[in-house]
Structure 1
Amino acid sequence: MENKDVKMPPKTRGPMRGPGRGMMPGEKAKDFKWSIGKLLAYLGNYKIGIIVVMIFAACATVFNVVGPKVLGKATTALSEGLMNKINGTGGMDFNYIGKVLLFVLGLYSISAVFSFIQGWIMTGITQKLCYRLRKEISEKINRMPMKYFESRTYGEVLSRITNDVDTLGMGLNQSITTIITAVATMLGVLVMMLSISPLMTLIAVIILPVSAGLISFVVKKSQKYFKTQQEYLGHINGQIEETYGGHTVVKSFNKEASMVKQFDETNTVLYKSAWKSQFLSGMMQPIMNFVGNLGYACVALSGGLLAIQGAITIGDIQAFIQYVKNFTQPITQIAQVINQVQSMAAASERVFEFLEEEEEDQFAQNPVRLDKIEGCVDFENVHFGYKEDQTIINDFTVHVKPGQKVAIVGPTGAGKTTIVKLLMRFYDVGSGAILVDGHNIKDFNRRELRDAFGMVLQDTWLYKDTIMENIRYGRLDATDEEVIAAAKAAHAHHFIETLPGGYQMELNEDASNVSQGQKQLLTIARAILADNPILILDEATSSVDTRTEIQIQNAMDNLMKGRTSFVIAHRLSTIKDADVILVMKDGDIVEQGNHEELLAKGGFYADLYNSQFDEAESA
Structure 2
Amino acid sequence: MGRKPNDVKKTLKRLLSYLPGTYKATLVVVVICIILSTLAGVIGSLFLEVLIDDYITPLIGMENPVFTALLQAILFMGLIYLCGVLSTLIYSRLMVIISQGAMKRIRDEMFAHMEKLPIKYFDTHQFGDTMSHYTNDTETLHQMLSQSVPQVFSSIVTIILVFCAMVYTSGPLTILVVFMVIVLFFVMKNIGGRSATHFVRQQKSLGEVNGFIEEMINGQKVIKVFCHEEKVKAEFDVMNDQLCGHATSANKFANIFMPVVVNIGNIQYVLVAIVGGALAISGVGGLTLGGIAAFLQLSKSFMMPISQVSQQLSSVVMALAGAERIFKLMDEPVEEDAGDVTLVNARYEGTVLTEAPAYTGIWAWKEIKDGAPVYTKLEGDVQLRDVSFGYTPDKNVLHDVSVYARPGQKVAFVGATGAGKTTITNLINRFYDVQEGEIFYDGINVKKIKKADLRRSLGIVLQDTNLFTGTVRENIRYGKLDATDEEVYAAARLSNAHDFISRLPEGYDTVLEGDGGSLSQGQRQLLSIARAAVANPPVMIMDEATSSIDTRTEAIVQAGMDSLMKGRTVFVIAHRLSTVHNADVIMVLESGKIIERGSHEELISEKGKYYQLYTGAFELE
TM-score, normalised to structure 2, is 0.90
Letter in 2 for 1:330: P
The whole-number CA distance in structure 2 between the counterparts of 1:263 and 1:333 is 37
| Residue 168 of structure 2: aligned partner | 195
The partner residue of 1:61 within 17, 22, 38 is 38
3-state SS in 2 of match to 1:583: strand
Larger RCO: 1 or 2 (CA < 8 Å, sep 6+): 1
Shift in alpha-carbon separation, 1:332–1:120, aligned structure 2, 3 A: same
Letter in 1 for 2:114: I
Q: Does 1:297 align with 2:270?
A: yes
Letter in 2 for 1:342: V
Letter in 2 for 1:359: V
| Residue 152 of structure 1: aligned partner | 125
The whole-number CA distance in structure 1 between the counterparts of 2:295 and 2:580 is 91
| Residue 355 of structure 1: aligned partner | 330
The whole-number CA distance in structure 2 between the counterparts of 1:78 and 1:260 is 71
Letter in 2 for 1:110: C
Offset at 1:368?
5.3
Q: Contact between 1:404 and 1:564, CA under 8 Å: does it hold in 2?
A: yes
The worse-fitting range, judged by mean Cα deviation, of 333-342 and 244-253 is 244-253
The whole-number CA distance in structure 1 between the counterparts of 2:555 and 2:84 is 77
Offset at 1:234?
1.9
3-state SS in 1 of match to 2:416: coil
Unpaired runs of at least 5, structure 1: 1-23
| Residue 19 of structure 1: aligned partner | none
The partner residue of 1:593 within 584, 598, 601 is 598
| Residue 422 of structure 1: aligned partner | 427
TM-score, normalised to structure 1, is 0.90
Letter in 2 for 1:60: S
3-state SS in 1 of match to 2:417: coil
Q: Contact between 1:27 and 1:230, CA under 8 Å: does it hold in 2?
A: no
The whole-number CA distance in structure 2 between the counterparts of 1:73 and 1:208 is 27
Deviation track 1:259-287 (CA, whole Å, cap 9, x = no partner) reads: 22222222222211221122112232122
Q: Contact between 1:368 and 1:439, CA under 8 Å: does it hold in 2?
A: no
1:449-468 aligned at under 5 Å gives the runs: 449-468=454-473
Offset at 1:83?
2.8
The partner residue of 1:253 within 205, 221, 226 is 226
Letter in 1 for 2:403: V
Letter in 1 for 2:45: P
Offset at 1:30?
4.4
Offset at 1:82?
5.6
Q: Contact between 2:18 and 2:106, CA under 8 Å: does it hold in 1?
A: no
Q: Does 1:143 align with 2:116?
A: yes
1:145-544 aligned at under 5 Å gives the runs: 145-309=118-282, 311-364=286-339, 366-367=340-341, 370-371=365-366, 372-544=377-549
Offset at 1:568?
0.9
Q: Does 1:35 align with 2:18?
A: no
Q: Percent identity?
A: 41
Q: Contact between 2:45 and 2:294, CA under 8 Å: does it hold in 1?
A: yes
Offset at 1:336?
0.8
The worse-fitting range, judged by mean Cα deviation, of 145-154 and 124-133 is 145-154
Offset at 1:562?
1.8
Deviation track 1:131-164 (CA, whole Å, cap 9, x = no partner) reads: 1111111111121121221222222111212221
Letter in 2 for 1:322: Q
The whole-number CA distance in structure 2 between the counterparts of 1:179 and 1:194 is 23
Offset at 1:335?
0.7
Q: Contact between 1:143 and 1:362, CA under 8 Å: does it hold in 2?
A: no
Q: Contact between 1:475 and 1:529, CA under 8 Å: does it hold in 2?
A: yes
Specify which structure has the higher proportion of strand: 2
Deviation track 1:525-563 (CA, whole Å, cap 9, x = no partner) reads: 111101111111111122323333222222222221221
Unpaired runs of at least 5, structure 2: 344-364, 367-376
3-state SS in 2 of match to 1:380: strand
The whole-number CA distance in structure 2 between the counterparts of 1:487 and 1:92 is 94
Offset at 1:77?
5.5
The partner residue of 1:134 within 103, 107, 115 is 107
Offset at 1:585?
1.3
The whole-number CA distance in structure 2 between the counterparts of 1:238 and 1:218 is 30
Deviation track 1:75-99 (CA, whole Å, cap 9, x = no partner) reads: 44665256314xxxx4443211211
Offset at 1:301?
0.7
Aligned residues: 586
| Residue 14 of structure 1: aligned partner | none
Deviation track 1:422-470 (CA, whole Å, cap 9, x = no partner) reads: 1111111121111111122121222111111111111111011111111
